[in-house]
């Protein structure tokens, strides 16, 4: 059974909540925005990540999607997620390097540059799908959500662009070794396109919550 990449699952929460996707067939791949434009992630100077574009009716409310449509969305996320994770992994590993260089509170790393390089290498070597990813074959829409598919897709893609820009602002190991690196100021704010989603889907996590939870859980002192 093929699982969607583990890193993709939290992101899926912003659009649909796939408990799992086990279809190995990638012939019906979703449309991926590889260029610029509003709502897209690629082609904007933030790493060329492609935005998700499911083949669902953009005007249909999420709580009105059929089981077949939910299964299609799961498959789209699975096909898109592997490429997305591969493109984003280097940025996540850079953050892992910063975490190692910063060290624990009151006990910074003795050699920030070396600690960073070792952590990045270990991160890249272990960048495999999460073994704990769900394996069931059910797909469910988020509860208490009346936003349309189009609203959710735009919010997701704009959020991913913000997160990508934020991660790209972290210093490299070489910068830390030279003492010239600094952490990005502030957390990414929710895009304006997510305002209707926050109102219509109050239980869905937004990008600021996901990033803050991930960084604070990793021990990084937040600005």
DSSP calls for 104-124: BTTB--SSHHHHHHHHHHHHH
Range of the domain at 81: 8-217
Phi-psi region of 37 (alpha: psi -120 to 50; beta: other; left: phi over 0): left
| pLDDT at site 211 | 61
- DSSP string computed for 31-65: EEE-S-STT--TTSSS--PPEEE-SS-TTSBGGG-
Answer yes or no: is 97 within a domain: yes
| 148 within a domain of the structure (yes/no) | yes
Whether 1 is in a domain gets the answer no
**Angle, helices 149-168/207-217, rounded to nearest 10 degrees:** 40
206-222: average pLDDT:
55
Per-residue pLDDT tens over the stretch 118-147? 999 998 888 765 544 444 445 677 778 899
Asked if the model's pLDDT at residue 174 lies above 80, the reply is yes
Give the lowest-confidence range in 6-10, 68-72, 156-160: 6-10
> Tokens 């999420």 map to which residue?
62
Question: Is residue 153 included in any domain, yes or no?
Answer: yes
Q: Is the pLDDT of residue 58 over 90?
A: yes
Instruction: Report yes or no on 222 lying in a domain.
Output: no
Q: Considering the domain boundaries, does residue 3 fall inside one?
A: no
Strand partners, 140: 17
> For position 207, what pLDDT does the model report?
67
- 169/48: higher pLDDT: 169
Q: What are the respective helix, strand and coil percentages of the chain, to the nearest 5?
A: 45, 5, 45
In angstroms, the CA 130 to CA 175 distance is: 30
In the structure encoding, which two tokens stand for residue 61, read together?
A: 């409310």
Q: Please give the residue that has the higher pLDDT: either 149 or 14.
A: 149
Average pLDDT over residues 189-202: 90
Total domains in the chain come to 1
Q: Percent of the chain, pLDDT > 70?
A: 61
DSSP 135: -
CA distances from 104 to 2, 112, 141 (A): 37, 12, 39
CB distance 56 to 72 below 8 Å: yes
Q: How confident is the model at residue 42 (pLDDT cuts 50, 70, 90)?
A: very low
Confirm whether 2 is domain-assigned. no
Alpha-helical regions (H) of the chain = 8-12, 67-102, 112-125, 149-168, 173-178, 195-200, 207-217
Average pLDDT over residues 57-82: 84
CB of 139 closer than 8 Å to CB of 68:
no
Q: What integer pLDDT is reported at residue 200 of this predicted model? A: 93
CA distance 160 to 49: 9
Tallying the residues shown for the chain, one arrives at 223
């Amino acid at each position: 059974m093929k699982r969607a990449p583990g890193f993709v699952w939290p992101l899926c929460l912003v659009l649909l909540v796939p408990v799992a996707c086990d279809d190995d067939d990638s012939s019906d791949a979703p449309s991926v925005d590889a260029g610029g434009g509003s709502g897209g992630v690629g082609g904007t100077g933030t790493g060329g990540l492609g935005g998700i574009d499911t083949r669902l009716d953009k005007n249909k409310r999420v709580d009105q999607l059929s089981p077949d449509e939910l299964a299609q969305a799961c498959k789209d996320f699975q096909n898109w997620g592997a490429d997305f994770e591969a493109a984003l992994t280097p940025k996540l590993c850079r953050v892992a390097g910063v975490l190692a260089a910063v060290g624990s509170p009151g006990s910074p790393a003795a050699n920030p540059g070396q600690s960073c390089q070792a952590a990045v290498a270990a991160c890249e070597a272990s960048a495999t799908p999460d073994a704990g990813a769900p394996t069931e074959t059910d797909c469910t829409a988020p509860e208490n959500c009346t936003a349309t598919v189009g609203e959710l897709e735009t919010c997701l893609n704009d959020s991913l662009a913000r997160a990508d820009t934020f991660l790209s602002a972290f210093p490299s190991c070489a910068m830390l070794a030279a003492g010239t690196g600094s952490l990005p100021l502030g957390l990414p704010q929710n895009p304006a396109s997510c305002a209707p989603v926050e109102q219509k889907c109050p239980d869905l996590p937004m990008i600021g919550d996901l990033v803050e939870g991930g960084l604070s859980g990793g021990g990084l002192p937040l600005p």
